[in-house]
Amino acid sequence: MQQFIMKRALCHTITAIPCRGRTELRILSTPWVPAIWPGSTANAIDFPFRKNPSYLRKPTSVSAKAAPTPSSVTMEPAVDEVAFESPAHFRIYKSGKIERLNRPPVLPAGLDEATGVTSKDVVLDADTGLSARLYLPRLQDPSKKLPVLVYYHGGAFLLESADSATYHTYVNPLAAAAGVLVVSVSYRLAPEHPLPTAYEDSWAALQWAASAQDEWIAEHGDMARLFLAGDSAGANIVHDMLLRASGAGGLPRVEGAIMLHPWFGGNTPIEGELEGAPAAMAGLWMYACPGAVGGADDPRMNPLAPGAPALEKLACARMLVCAGKMDALYVRDRAYYEAVAASAWPGDVAWHESEGEEHVFFLPKPECENAKQLMNTVVAFIAGA
């Protein structure tokens, strides 16, 4: 048991560090993004067992006069300090600036020779830039309609896009294996566009998909078999979409929801959570959603908080909740599954856990045995098996 806890701590160390009268939050590997981006050239991450690890070092002061980068938000202060960081992924400064590090390459749409899936990009709203990448698997029978799956990517609401290598290389095999037409959504990111922007973009994209305006969806999609799926922050979005659909009279009708390692949190630690994790996650949540009511007990982050919408309102017939046993979010994900199962919701909920695996492991390790098992579970769920 001791070895298990230590491994989780090494992979997901989140610490509040007193530093010269200040408390600084440092995170070594965010529990909602992979430890190493697929396609990234920077694989080095500081862990607690290394000498003089970065999370114990005083942040380097950064001059605002340094040349700005496309991945940062321009701010005015003369000296800025790091307040929160994931060394492989991002740095957040006290001024509110964010630096996105080691961003995965953007891959073009088109035919994927390995899977036979064809993709294309569609602009859904020219004013906001909301877009989606559609995936159409090879048609064995052109007259047969395909289930439609709307996918929301993860990245703590701060990172990633539908056209990144991370998700393009995941959704292609998913579309092929499940035989589904996928609408992968590129919602706008915080902090440039604070929440609820991502939720609103995601809802607009779902309504667009359900309207079958696109020729692929109109010709090949079976809207009577609509699924929602997402990983990490994307799974959090799926939960919000189900509640929005309930408030819209159950429309669009969703047959199934696939929650891959959902990012949920709360102000109060629950049994089994890593020490310091709730506070650090609450800080990151408030950075993405500065208008959150109740901090991390905002119902969008903590669906089990007092006053949160009743889970019986979830507007889908079936649900699959998945988690990695070594994930810092495992306890929250399991609690969510158990709460849905115990609620008055009339649907069927299933649970899948991956032994020995960390958060969204299936993205950087798609060929490992546990990733294949997870893919098989998702495919079987969509098929109704």
Residue 365 makes CB contacts below 8 A (sequence gap 6+) with: 371
Query: What element of type H or E holds 253?
Result: none
Judged on CB neighbours under 10 Å (0-12, 13-18, 19+), 309 is: middle
Q: Give the residue carrying structure tokens 């440092």.
A: 26
The H helix count followed by the E strand count for the chain is: 8, 16
> Structure tokens of 84?
């929160």
Catalytic residue check, 246? no
Region for 249 from its dihedrals, namely left if φ exceeds 0, alpha if ψ lies in -120 to 50, beta otherwise = left
Please work out, in degrees rounded to the nearest 5, the angle formed at the alpha carbon of residue 100 by the alpha carbons of 275 and 89. Answer: 40
Burial 9-19, CB ≥16 within 10 A → b, else e: bebbbbbeeee
* Token pair in block for residue 23: 């408390």
The residue annotated as part of the active site, out of 232, 246, 343, 354, is 232
Phi, psi of 18 (to 5 degrees): -65, 130
Closest CA to 14 of 26, 32, 24, 31: 26
* Strand pairing class (82-86; 90-93): antiparallel
Position of tokens 């008055």? 344
Name residue, tokens 């856990």: 353
What residues are annotated to the active site?
Answer: 232
